[in-house]
Structure 1
Amino acid sequence: MMTVEQPLTEPGNPGQRHLTANSVKLFRVFNHYRLAISVLLVGLMFLDPSEFGTQFQMPGYYQVGVFSYLSLNVFLALVLLAGFRPQPRHVILSILLDILFMHAFLLFSSGISSGLANLVIVSVAAGNIMTPSRIGILYAALATICSLVMSTWSVLSLEANPDSIVRAGILGVVYFAVALILQNITLRLTRSEALATSRAHSLQEMEHINQQIIQRMRTGILVVDRFGQIRLANAAAEELLFGVTGRQDKAPSPRGKTLPVPLRQRLERWLNDPGARSEPFQASATSPLLQANFTQLDKQQGEHVLIFVEDISKLTQQAQQMKLASLGRLTAGIAHEIRNPLGAISHAAQLMAESEQLDTGDRKMLDIIQRHSRRVNGIVENVLDLSRRRQANSELIEIKDWLSTFMEDYRQTVDKDGGEPAKIQIDVDDALPPARFDPSQIEQVLVNLCDNGLRYSQQRTGHRSLLLHAGKTADGERSYLDICDDGPGISDEHRSSVFEPFFTTDKSGTGLGLYLARELCEANQAHLSLLDREPPGCCFRITFSHHRRLI
């Protein structure tokens, strides 16, 4: 963040604040100037003054003063080079010493008429630039007093020309004029710089706020070139397209990556026909259904494209939830009216089945009645469960321990009939990150998926078999659980519809099992997806939410 630089001192209270960065730089430059002047003065001592028409009044004192001045400036240069940061009092003392040294040189050389008097003007000017306050008037006053005292003493003691007093007075006027003018200019520049810095600070804050807003948006935002190379991407885009949850320091930046193939194909179509609307897509087999919208960032150059990526599966789920909620309320209202005749039909079918006068055809008809009665009752129960589903009560769970406990209970349930035991293989990777979910709801999902897997495996192979594999995502931040069976698999034409309500290829099914499983996963910020797998068999994956993400 940029900070507004404060003035060096408050009027009437010098030395109470630190020097600004600009003042420190100016002080270094001024010290370099003094070092150069002192070296020049020492060099002039090796020349004959008479050649320049100059007569030294006190040559011995002049030589001592010049060498002392050089030594002081060399010492200050070394101290500054060592990293010393001067304070306001150091600047004030340095300017005062410089004024005194210059007047001593004037006194020891040819007096106020010497060209060295112009160096006093430079010292006063530098002091007022570095300390634009009332202390700058002190420099002008001290220089004026020194000039008048030196000129008066020269006239009285050294019988100098009395015009030197007038010259000293004129120089005093020049000192005050320089001090006032430079103070005014410096203060104006300081205020302008402070205003510019403040506005730059405000703009930077606004930019930071805008970046925070963009990063926290649930809509994915990307800036790419015409070839699909990512220039910028917010956190939502990283999560939707690459499965990276949050911006972790160790996670690689998406900058320079190429868009996923489905999105890159839609970008190319849009570039060829900007008026066409792109179709929904999945960035990968485990990602949700996404919708992309494109717009040109720079219409003149046309170099970069802005892409908005939205998770439309949530919108679809919300619409389905609204329909199912309405259906649930309707079912709840007429459940009594449905169950009474349904119970009567089922009971009558059971009584008829006890009759010994029924032939084989009649018994088949009774079996159809009972089977479809159970199916209708199951549909009513599932819709009621959807309408009164409770909110997830999430916990931080270690996948390995939880899965082991779940499988112990599940094996006892599926093997209670005394037939051939189910063959369930469990494979858990090491160092899995924990997951946050409601154990009872995810257990309901897993029971549904495992029951389906065992049933379809038995239909195809005659044996109930299942593989459960727990691993972690590519970024190492989230855990997932695969449930794979040896059944006939799901055809390509049905893959996009398996999670839709009331869709089923099983005549005895209700078509709500997988839909309810995905709904429960979404309620726990997890994602249930069907992986691409060569038949036979199919594999469902539950990708759990990040353990630091609160539901």
Structure 2
Amino acid sequence: MTATQQQKAELGPVSPSDQQQQKLFRIYNHYRLVVSLILLGLLFVEPVNLDSSFRLLDYYQAGVAGYFGLNAFVALLILAGFLPSRRHITLSILLDVLIMHWLLLTSTGITNGLANLVIVSVAAGNILTPSRMGFFYAALAAICSLGISGWAVLALDEHADDIVRAGSLGILYFAAAFVLQSISKRMRSSEALASSRAQSLAELERINQQIIQRMRTGILLLDRSGQIRLANAAAEELLFGEPSADRTEQTEGTRMLPQALKLGLESWLRDPTRRIEPFRPFQTSPILQVNFTQLDQERGDQILVFIEDMSKITQQAQQMKLASLGRLTAGIAHEIRNPLGAISHAAQLMEESPHLDQGDLQMLDIIRRHSRRVNGIVENVLDLSRRRTANADLIDVSDWLKEFKEDYLQTQEESAGSIIDLSLAPNIPPARFDKSQIEQVMVNLCDNGLRYSQQQTGQRRIEIRGGATVDGERAYLDVRDTGPGISQEHQGSVFEPFFTTDKSGTGLGLYLARELCEANQAHLSLVDDNQPGCCFRITFAHPGRLI
């Protein structure tokens, strides 16, 4: 630690006014050093004339040498990093006034041109320490000038005009102090007002920054070449899967836009009235819609980009539709289940008849399977209409996955012979979610994975992997099966309601799973990594974000 750093640590933070005072004192000390050097040089320029004109030559020479030595010593201290305080500055001004009058006393008296330098010292004192101390400098200088003049008249029989000149100098001292005190007072008032406004602007900027960073809408500031100047946390998470808090300002300019967004920017620059098609920047991200606007209307070199998560809008529309369907289903569930129960019961009775051939048994099996399917559809739609609000807790993902695997294998009716390979990365961050709702999602994904794995390989086997995202602050879960996978044409539709490739399925399982994930601020996505089977990923929100 240097001497300057140690002194700052001892004194604490330095205010802007103190910094300005220290800067002005350094300038004033340079002036004193130059003056003392000139006075010292004059001793060697005309040494012959000094004996006859100066009262006390030896004392004058000693005073000049001492004044130069003092200023040189202070200059070296400042050069070494010494930060003068207010009392150091006050002491320096007092020494200047006294030394200058000593030089006046030992030279030719008050008529010497050095008296003008006293005015400079008094003025500097009022600038550096704008308080009552400034008038004390003026009073001390006036008393010293009058004292020198009075001593010269009484002891050396000098002319009485020196006293008048000393009085005039005293008036000048007080006039300089008064004028500079008034100017300094106004400057301090203006500085305080400017500091208050700057502080208010800084607070407002911090508030705006916090609001922008906490917005769920992504905001980007680009130049016309697509270089990122500014991005809030939502934009970073939507476009790159990482929050901006983990980035330095050096990486801000080097971050490349996703290709789809870059093409959209080029298209918008050619035709600002054209609307950009929604896109997905990476596999596990939601579908995004962007809107561009020109920030600087005159130059047009900065572009503001608003990024919206289309899945939210789509969910709202589907939720309204399914809520209406749920209310309708709730109203007619009784009417549907009564005849459905009668059909199932009649099928069971017919199975007991000894006169059924193989064709009749196949028809009864069709009746049973489709009755269960209709009942499943009714149950799923009712679940959508009855979905409760998430009650989230901060969960240790590793421990929860181990517990889920054990409970799942023990409670599932068809889990006999099922194998779940659990893979956990080290240092998985905690996640905030409703355990019962995410467990319902995991049961759905595991049931599907085991069923499709058995269809493809004859073995009920899946893998559950837990890990952390690229930023290291959010957890994710992967459920991978060894089934036939999902064709490219159907990958965009797997989360739509009533879409299914299984003849016995209802088409609401994955949709309900994504709805439950979104209710917990998590995102369920299908990962296309060119490996056999399917991989569904649940990416949780940052644990610091409350639901």
Regarding TM over 0.5, the answer is yes
CA distance in 2, matches of 1:533, 1:87: 67
Query: 1:58-457 counterparts in 2 under 5 A?
Result: 58-245=56-243, 247-248=245-246, 253-412=251-410, 421-457=417-453
1:516 Cα offset (Å): 1.0
CA distance in 1, matches of 2:88, 2:415: 94
1:82 Cα offset (Å): 4.1
Give the helix-richer structure, 1 or 2: 2
SS of residue matched to 1:221 = strand
CA distance in 2, matches of 1:245, 1:125: 56
Which range moved further: 533-542 or 331-340?
533-542
The equivalent of 1:507 in structure 2 is: 503
Which range moved further: 389-398 or 511-520?
389-398
**Corresponding residue pairs, total:** 533
- TM-score after normalising by structure 1: 0.89
CA distance in 1, matches of 2:357, 2:260: 59
Amino acid at match of 1:272: R
Q: Deviations over 1:197-220 (max 9, x none)?
A: 332232222222222211111110
CA distance in 2, matches of 1:18, 1:317: 54
The equivalent of 2:11 in structure 1 is: none
Q: Deviations over 1:50-70 (max 9, x none)?
A: 558970112122223223323
Structure 1 pair 112–529 and aligned structure 2 pair: CA distance change class (3 A): same
SS of residue matched to 2:246 = coil
CA distance in 2, matches of 1:410, 1:354: 35
CA distance in 2, matches of 1:75, 1:438: 71
Q: Deviations over 1:299-321 (max 9, x none)?
A: 44333321111112122212222
Structure 1 pair 139–406 and aligned structure 2 pair: CA distance change class (3 A): closer
The equivalent of 2:488 in structure 1 is: 492
The answer on 1:542 being equivalent to 2:535 is no
* Aligned CA-pair RMSD: 2.7
1:49 Cα offset (Å): 5.3
Contact 1:489 1:535 in 2 (8 A): no
The equivalent of 2:31 in structure 1 is: 33
SS of residue matched to 1:490 = coil
Contact 1:226 1:303 in 2 (8 A): yes
Structure 1 pair 456–167 and aligned structure 2 pair: CA distance change class (3 A): same
Which range moved further: 379-388 or 53-62?
53-62
Which range moved further: 286-295 or 238-247?
238-247
Which range moved further: 49-58 or 461-470?
49-58
CA distance in 2, matches of 1:18, 1:208: 21
CA distance in 2, matches of 1:252, 1:124: 50
Q: Deviations over 1:427-480 (max 9, x none)?
A: 333333333333332222122112212222333344433233333222222232
CA distance in 1, matches of 2:490, 2:415: 33
SS of residue matched to 1:468 = strand
SS of residue matched to 1:391 = coil
1:356 Cα offset (Å): 2.9
1:296 Cα offset (Å): 1.8
1:158 Cα offset (Å): 0.9
The equivalent of 1:5 in structure 2 is: none
5+ residue gaps, structure 1: 1-16
- TM-score after normalising by structure 2: 0.90
CA distance in 2, matches of 1:58, 1:431: 84
Structure 1 pair 338–464 and aligned structure 2 pair: CA distance change class (3 A): same
Amino acid at match of 1:261: Q
Which range moved further: 394-403 or 197-206?
394-403
Q: Percent identity?
A: 65
Amino acid at match of 1:46: F
